[in-house]
Amino acid sequence: MKRRLSPPVVVALVGVVALLGLLTYGVIASGPDRGFEQALARGEKIPAPALRLDRLSGAGRGALADYRGQVVVLNVWASWCDPCREESPLLQRWHQRMSRGGHGTVLGVVALDASSDARDFIRKFGLTYPMLRDPSAEAVQGDWGVAGYPETFVIDRRGRIVALARGPIDDEWMRTEVEPLLERS
């Protein structure tokens, strides 16, 4: 003999299922956009989204497009980020190496940070590569899918993202992801 569920029990079960669905959606939607990683894993090269922001120096605006024809290591960072401090000397060394022959640059994007704190950070670490600022992180979180700091994108001479690191990078990563692009010049 089959038992029927009473209407209050049915309503409660529907409510629980709906709540679980909303929670699942919230967890999935709040995570970083993994579209870039998935495309790169398939061997695709993704056109880099446009990026035009104020220069940290206050001297007008700068854009990723200003570096078209060069290899760009775009690093999103903040002065309060400990891993950003650890990788800054590495990025400076690679910027010097890449810029010597005019083959590339490191391009920093400071996000969710006070400009004065970012300038102090740059002085402390002797950083000479160009810096843009995204105080609200709207640009890097939106089109670029940045979810944490640091995040580093490698962009080839044709303006395509060819590598991405969510988290700190090291010399081995740079040799693997950037060096081959420089050798093709």
- pLDDT score at 73: 98
Domain residue spans of the chain: 35-183
Average of per-residue pLDDT values in the chain: 88
Average pLDDT for 102-128? 96
More confident residue, 167 or 23: 167
- Put residue 25 in one of left, alpha, beta given phi > 0 → left and psi -120 to 50 → alpha: alpha
Q: pLDDT tens digits, residue range 130-147?
A: 999 999 999 999 999 999
User: What pLDDT shows up at residue 13?
Assistant: 61
Determine if the peptide bond prior to 150 is cis (ω within 30°). yes
Looking at residue 104, its amino acid is G
What fold characterizes domain 35-183?
Glutaredoxin (3.40.30)
The reported pLDDT for the residue numbered 29 is: 40
Question: Parallel, antiparallel, or unpaired: how do β-strands 61-63 and 52-55 relate?
Answer: antiparallel
Is pLDDT of 10 > 60?
no
pTM score over 0.85 = no
- Residue 116's pLDDT is what? 95
Q: What is the mean pLDDT of residues 168-173?
A: 98
Going by pLDDT thresholds of 50, 70 and 90, the confidence category of residue 20 is low
